[in-house]
Amino acid sequence: MNTITTLSRRRFLALTGVASSGLVLMGSIPGTVLASVLDEAEGAPLNLFVSLKTDGTVEIIAHRSEMGTGIRTSLPQVVADEMEADWTRVHVIQGLANADYGSQNTDGSRSIRNFYQVMRQMGSAAQAMLRQAAANTWAADVRDVSAQQHRVHHRDGRSMGFGELATAAATLPLPDLNTLTLKDPSEFRYIGKSVPIVDLDDMCSGNTTYGADVRIPDMLFASIERTPTLQGKVKSYNEAAALKLPGVVKVVKIGGTALPSSFHALEGVAVLATDTYTALSARDSLDVQWNGGQHATFDSERYLDTLAERVSSGPGKVARERGDTDKALASAAKTVEANYRTPYLAHAPMEPPVATAHIHDDICEVWACTQTPQATQRAVAEALDLDVSRVKVHVTLLGGGFGRKSKPDYSVEAALLARASGKPVQVVWSREDDVEHDYYHSCSAQYYQGGLDQDGALTAWLAREATPPIRSTFDRDANIQDDGALNMTFGSIPFSVPNLRLESHVAETQVRIGWLRSVFNIPYAIGVGCFMDELAHAAGRDSVEFWLDTIGEDRHLDFAPEGFKFGNYGRSLKEYPYDTARLKGVIRQLRDSIPWGEALPEGEGWGISAARSFLSYVAVASKVKIVEGRLTVTEMHCVIDAGTVVNPDRVHAQIEGAMIFGLSLAMMGNIDFKRGAAVQSNFHDYPVARINQTPAVIKSHIIPSDALPAGVGEPGVPPVAPSIANAIFAASGQRIRDFPFNRHFNV
Amino acid sequence: MQLDINGLAYEIDISPQLPLLWALRDHLQLTGTKYGCGKGLCGACTVHLDGQPVRSCQTPVSALHGKKVVTIEGLSEDASHPVQRAWKQHNVPQCGYCQSGQIMSAAALLANNQQPTPAEIDTAMSGNICRCGTYPRIREAIRDASGQSAEKK
Ligand code: FES
Ligand code: FES
C-alpha cells in the first residue's frame, strides 16, 4: 500500500494526454503523488479516471467524497453510461488527494454540475480508445465499429469484450476530448436512472471504513483537551497524572496559532494511548487550566441583542439598491416591519471528525473522513513543513459532513501528533469535542421593512442584516458580509418591487465560523421567507399568489445595474440564468400538490416558502399542528427544479434529508456561548431531529428538466424553516421571529 | 474477560469497566458498530444482548457474563436478514454511519413485535439518530420487513 512506484512511460503518456486536454495542468503533476494514485487501480489506465483490467473489470475513480449524497455512485454512473460499460462490472475506487482530478472540494452542491460533462467525456474517451483498439486488431475502419454493453462490435458481426482490448487500448493516445460524440440523452442507460449506491450492501452489513475504522499496525489513539475559548492558552496541566494511567503512552501539548483560525489545530493537550477509550477517559486527569484570552467574555445572547439593535436602528453599508426606498416607504398605504434572529448552529455529523496520520519514508500519509482531500494535503504539508507532494491523503467514507469536514484541522492534529510520537496516530473527536469546537454556522440578525400600496402590491423592500462572516475564519479583519455571502438569498431576491435597498452591518466574530449545509441561505431564507408571509398577510393576500405576483413576469435577472455582484455559485448567468419562470414553476407545482387553501381545524395550518440556491429552484410547504403548546409538523412537501438529474432516487433522498435537516434546525438548533465557550455539548442539549419528530407525510417532487444540472445536496434546506414558521402563524396567529421554535413550543 | 460475540467465544485481557463498544472496535476489530455520542443518546452503537437492543457505549463488558452479543457483523452472513433486505429495497442509507445501529434496533423491534404500528415503530426507533434524515425510509423499510406493505411513495 505504501510503495511509491515510478510512472511507466506508457502510463505517463496516457495520463498526460488528459493533461493536455485542459482537464489538468501538465506542469503541476508531482510524479510521486500521481504514481501513488495509480497504485489504487490495478487495471491499465485509459485516462485519469478510468482503468480496465483484462478480466473486463472497469475501475472508475471517485474523486469526490461520499458523505451521503451518493456521489461515489452518481459520477461513475455517468462514466459507465458514456463508456457503454456494464454497470455490474464496474468497480469504484476512491481517489487520493490529487490536484490533477480538478477540485475535490466536496461542498457547494457542485459535484454533478461541475463534473457531469467531464465524466461524460472520460467515459466517451475510454470507449473511443476501445473502439480504436478493436479496429486496429481487426485492421478495420473504426467507423464500422461500435461499442455496446462491454463489447466492441464490427458491423460484420465480429466482436471483442472490453477486457480483451484493455492492453491494446491503454497504449493508444487519449483522443481529443472536443472531438468526441457524446450520447444523445435518449440513449442513456444509467444517467437518469435510480442506480442503487455502490456501498449499499456494505453499509447494511457494517462492512465499511469510515474515519475511525482505519487501523494501522502499532498505531496510537489520541484525544485532545482543546481551548474552550477562541485563542485561549494552556496555563497548566498534569502530565504525570495522565501518564500514570494504564494504556497512556504520551502527553503532547499542541500550541495554537494566532488568528485567523483558518484550518490550524486549536491549542490543546493531547493524550496518546493504546486504545480509544483510554485516550478519551484519561483527559479528565490532565486537569488543564486555561487563560481564556480576549474572547473569554463573549456571550452570544447579548451579542445577538447587539446585532438586532444595530440592524433595526440605522442604515448600514448598501449592497444593492433600486429606486428610492425611503420615499416609497414614506408614501406607502401600509408598512410592515419585522426583526428576525437566528442562532449559531453546530454541524454534528453522525460521525465526529477523526483522522489518522502516519509519517514514514519522508512522507506523511493521512486517512481522513474529509470533504476536501487537497486542502487536507496542503494544511498538513504546511503544519509539518513538507512539500505537498510528500503528503498522501486517503479519503474514507464520511459519516456525514455538512461542511464540517471541509475543514482539515483534525488532520493537522493527527499529523502533528504522529510527528511528536513517531507513531501512526488516530485523533478521535468525542461528540463533546465536536459540538464544543466546531466551525459554527453563524448567527444572524435581520431587519425588514416593506411598503404596500392600496391594492396590496409590494412597493418597497428594505432589508438589513448583521451576520459574522465566514471570511473571518481566514481574515481576522473581516467583520461584515460581502456580496459573495449576500449572494445567498438576501442579496439575490428575485422580486419585481420598484424600490429596494439591502444593507449590511458590522458583525465581529468571536468564535470559529464555517459553512454548514446551505450556508447563509439558511438565515437569509428565513428572513426573506418569513417576511414575505408577513407582507402577504398584511396585504390580505394569499401567500402563494403574493409570491407569484411579487416575483413578477418571466425574465432572467441581472443584478449588476443595482450595484450588486452576483456570484451565481461560481457559474455565469449566461449558462445558469436566474430564471423567474422556474422559481414560479416550483411554487405553482407545490401549490398543486397539496390541498392549499383547505379549511383546517383550529391549531392547524399550512405554510410555504421558496428559494433559489446552488442554481436550483425549490419550494417547500409544511403543515403543523399545535396542541397545548406542543408543536408537531405533520406534513412536508418539497418541489425541486435541479435541471438534469443523474440519479433520481438519490435526489429524492437528499431532498427528504434536507427537509429533516431544515426541520431539525428550525425546531431545536441552537448553540449558545457563555464566557466565550459553547454551552451545549452533546445530543441532550444540542438535540437533532429524531424519527418521532419526523412528519408522517414527507414528499419530494422533482421537476423533469433537461436544463444543465444544478445543485442538490443543499438547496432543499433553505425554504424549510420559514415554511414551518409561516405554518405556525397560519395555525396560531403567532409570528415566531427568533429561532429555534423550542424557545416557544414543546417540540 | 470471556465474551460471546456473534456465536464465537473470545478471551481478552481488558478492564471489566470497558464499554462493550470499545471492546468491539479496538480489541476485536469489529468496527461495524459505531460511536456517535458515548452517552446513550444516539443509538449508533446499538447491538443485541440476548436479543435485546442495548447501547454498547453504556454497557461495560462486566455486564456480559453468560450473555450472547450479536453485532451488525453477526446479524446475517450476507446482509440477508429481512431487515437488511428491506433496507436495501428502500435504499435507506445515505452516509450509512448510523445504519448499523438502526438495523440492529429495527431487527430487535421485529423480533419482539412482528407487526408494529407506525407509533410503535417511531417509539422503538426514537433512540437512533440519523443526521442524514433517512427516517421516512426507515419507517417504510420496517413496515416492509414486517410484511405490512409499505405505503407507496
Ligand atoms: S454512541 Fe452509544 S448511544 Fe451514541
Ligand atoms: S445515514 Fe447518515 S446518519 Fe444516518
Burial (CB count <10 Å: 0-12, 13-18, 19+), residue B24? buried
Which residue CA neighbors atom 3 of ligand 2 most closely? B130
The residue ranges of every structural domain in chain A are 3-205, 211-293+353-428, 300-346+439-743
**Does B95 sit in the ligand 1 pocket, CB within 6 Å?**
no
Q: How far apart are CA A578 and CA A703, in angstroms?
A: 16
Asked, colleague to colleague, whether B2-75 and B82-145 share their fold, the answer is: no
Contact A656, A702 (CB under 8 A): no
Searching chain B, which residue's CA lies closest to the CA of residue A517?
Answer: B132
SS3 A1: coil
pLDDT-based confidence at B148, cuts 50/70/90?
confident
A314-334 pLDDT, tens digit each: 999 999 999 999 999 999 999
Q: How far apart are CA A91 and CA A510, in angstroms?
A: 46
**Does B19 sit in the ligand 1 pocket, CB within 6 Å?**
no
Q: How many CB atoms lie within 10 A of CB A485?
A: 24
Cα A45 to Cα A86, A130, A161, A166: the distances in Å are: 18, 12, 17, 9
A198-235 pLDDT, tens digit each: 999 999 999 999 999 999 999 999 999 999 999 999 99
Residue from the list A212, A215, A691 with its beta carbon closest to the beta carbon of B29 = A215
- Per-residue pLDDT at A534 exceeds 60: yes
The vertex-A672 CA angle with A668 and A676, nearest 5°, equals: 165
- Per-residue pLDDT at A647 exceeds 60: yes
C-alpha cell belonging to residue A331: 408614501
pLDDT-based confidence at A9, cuts 50/70/90?
very low
pLDDT at position A312 is 96
Ligand nearest to the CA of B130: 2
Give contacts of B32 with chain A, Cβ < 8 Å.
205-208
* CA-closest candidate to residue A422, choices A252, A673, A215, A610: A252
Contact A626, A728 (CB under 8 A): yes
A606-642 pLDDT, tens digit each: 999 999 999 999 999 999 999 999 999 999 999 999 9
* CA-closest candidate to residue A219, choices A376, A382, A417, A351: A417
Kindly state the DSSP code that residue A177 receives in the 8-state scheme: G
pLDDT at position A40 is 66
How many CA atoms does the CB half-sphere of A678 hold within 13 Å?
Answer: 28
Say if the Cβ atoms of A194 and B22 lie within 8 Å.
no
**Does B41 sit in the ligand 1 pocket, CB within 6 Å?**
yes
Ligand nearest to the CA of A276: 1
A115-147 pLDDT, tens digit each: 999 999 999 999 999 999 999 999 999 999 999
pLDDT-based confidence at A103, cuts 50/70/90?
confident
Q: How far apart are CA A551 and CA B117, in angstroms?
A: 44
pLDDT at position A715 is 97
Helix (H) or strand (E) holding A620: strand A616-627
Lowest mean pLDDT among A27-41, A153-167, A439-453, B30-44: A27-41
Asked, colleague to colleague, whether A3-205 and A300-346+439-743 share their fold, the answer is: yes
Which residue CA neighbors atom 3 of ligand 1 most closely? B40
The residue ranges of every structural domain in chain B are 2-75, 82-145
Contact A521, A717 (CB under 8 A): yes
Say if the Cβ atoms of A212 and B36 lie within 8 Å.
no
Instruction: Inform me whether the C-beta atom of residue A82 falls under 8 Å from chain B C-beta atoms.
Output: no
Instruction: Please tell me the distance between residue B133's alpha carbon and the centre of ligand 2 in angstroms.
Output: 7
Q: Decide the pairing of beta strands A58-62 and B46-49.
A: unpaired
Q: How many CB atoms lie within 10 A of CB B12?
A: 12
Say if the Cβ atoms of B88 and A200 lie within 8 Å.
yes
Contact A543, A619 (CB under 8 A): no
Within its chain, how far is the Cα of B88 from the centroid? 16
- Per-residue pLDDT at A30 exceeds 90: no
B2-61 pLDDT, tens digit each: 999 999 999 999 999 999 999 999 999 999 999 999 999 999 999 999 999 999 999 999
Say if the Cβ atoms of A658 and B97 lie within 8 Å.
no
**Does B44 sit in the ligand 1 pocket, CB within 6 Å?**
yes
Instruction: Please tell me the distance between residue A402's alpha carbon and the centre of ligand 2 in angstroms.
Output: 12
Tell me the shortest Cα–Cα distance from A600 to chain B, in angstroms.
24
pLDDT-based confidence at A579, cuts 50/70/90?
very high
- Cα dihedral A411→A415→A418→A421 (10° resolution): -110
Instruction: Please tell me the distance between residue A70's alpha carbon and the centre of ligand 2 in angstroms.
Output: 12
Q: Decide the pairing of beta strands A391-395 and A363-368.
A: parallel
Give the homologous superfamily in CATH for domain B2-75. Beta-grasp domain (3.10.20.30)
The residues pairing with B60 across neighbouring beta strands, listed in sequence order, are: B19
B82-145, which class in CATH? mainly alpha
C-alpha cell belonging to residue A737: 421571529
Residue from the list A204, A348, A657 with its beta carbon closest to the beta carbon of B84 = A204
Instruction: Please tell me the distance between residue B17's alpha carbon and the centre of ligand 1 in angstroms.
Output: 16
**Over pLDDT 70: what percentage of chain B?**
97
Instruction: Please tell me the distance between residue B33's alpha carbon and the centre of ligand 1 in angstroms.
Output: 10
Within its chain, how far is the Cα of A615 from the centroid? 14
* CA-closest candidate to residue A212, choices A428, A364, A408: A428
The residues pairing with A700 across neighbouring beta strands, listed in sequence order, are: A638
Say if the Cβ atoms of A206 and B73 lie within 8 Å.
yes
Within its chain, how far is the Cα of A442 from the centroid? 15
A503-524 pLDDT, tens digit each: 999 999 999 999 999 999 999 9
A161-203 pLDDT, tens digit each: 999 999 999 999 999 988 999 999 999 999 999 999 999 999 9
- Per-residue pLDDT at A14 exceeds 60: no
* CB contact residues (below 8 A), chain A span 160-219, against chain B: 194, 196-197, 199-210, 212-213, 215
* CB contact residues (below 8 A), chain A span 313-352, against chain B: 348-352
Contact B132, B113 (CB under 8 A): no
C-alpha cell belonging to residue A75: 459520477
pLDDT at position B149 is 63
Report the residue among B35, B37, B87, B132 best suited for mutation to probe ligand 2: largest number of ligand atoms under 8 A from its CB: B132
Instruction: Please tell me the distance between residue A433's alpha carbon and the centre of ligand 1 in angstroms.
Output: 15
**Cis amide linkage into residue A687, ω under 30° from 0:** no
Fold of A300-346+439-743: Aldehyde Oxidoreductase; domain 4 (3.30.365)
SS3 A305: helix
Report the residue among A200, A202, A350 best suited for mutation to probe ligand 2: largest number of ligand atoms under 8 A from its CB: A350
**Does B82 sit in the ligand 1 pocket, CB within 6 Å?**
no
pLDDT at position A738 is 98
pLDDT at position A42 is 85
Residue from the list B44, B103, B135 with its beta carbon closest to the beta carbon of A694 = B135
* CA-closest candidate to residue A269, choices A237, A221, A229, A240: A237
How many contacts (CB atoms, under 8 Å) link A and B? 180
pLDDT-based confidence at A353, cuts 50/70/90?
very high
Beta-strand runs (E) in A141-274 = 145-148, 151-154, 159-161, 220-226, 233-236, 248-254, 268-273
Lowest mean pLDDT among A43-57, A99-113, A237-251, A664-678: A99-113
SS3 A219: coil
Q: What is the mean pLDDT of chain A?
A: 93
pLDDT at position A642 is 97
Q: Is the pTM of this model over 0.90?
A: yes
Ligand 2 atom closest to the CA of B102, numbered from 1? 4
Residue from the list A275, A350, A658 with its beta carbon closest to the beta carbon of B44 = A350
Say if the Cβ atoms of B123 and A692 lie within 8 Å.
yes
**Does B101 sit in the ligand 1 pocket, CB within 6 Å?**
no
Q: Which residues lie below 8 Å from residue A304, measured CB to CB, with a gap of 6+? A: A341, A343, A443, A445
Tell me the shortest Cα–Cα distance from A431 to chain B, in angstroms.
5
Kindly state the DSSP code that residue A441 receives in the 8-state scheme: B
Ligand 2 residue neighbourhood (C-beta within 6 Å): A 68, 350, 400; B 93-99, 130-132, 134
B38-68 in b/e form (b: 16+ CB < 10 A) is: bbbbbbbbbbbbeeebbbbbebebeebeeee
A277-317 pLDDT, tens digit each: 999 999 999 999 999 999 999 999 999 999 999 999 999 99
Q: Decide the pairing of beta strands A233-236 and A289-291.
A: antiparallel
Q: How many CB atoms lie within 10 A of CB A13?
A: 16
A3-205, which class in CATH? alpha beta
Q: Which one is the CATH code of A211-293+353-428: 3.40.50.300, 3.10.180.10, 3.30.365.10, 1.10.10.10?
A: 3.30.365.10
User: Helical H runs in A325-430?
Assistant: 325-330, 373-384, 409-421
Residue from the list A430, A661, A683 with its beta carbon closest to the beta carbon of B133 = A661
Instruction: Please tell me the distance between residue A220's alpha carbon and the centre of ligand 2 in angstroms.
Output: 27
In order, the DSSP letters of A628-681 are TTEEEEEEEEEEEE-SS-S-HHHHHHHHHHHHHHHHHHHHH--B-EETTEES--
pLDDT at position A34 is 37
SS3 A192: coil
pLDDT at position A201 is 97
SS (H, E, C) A674-708: ECCEECCCCCCCCCCCCHHHCCCEEEEEECCCCCC
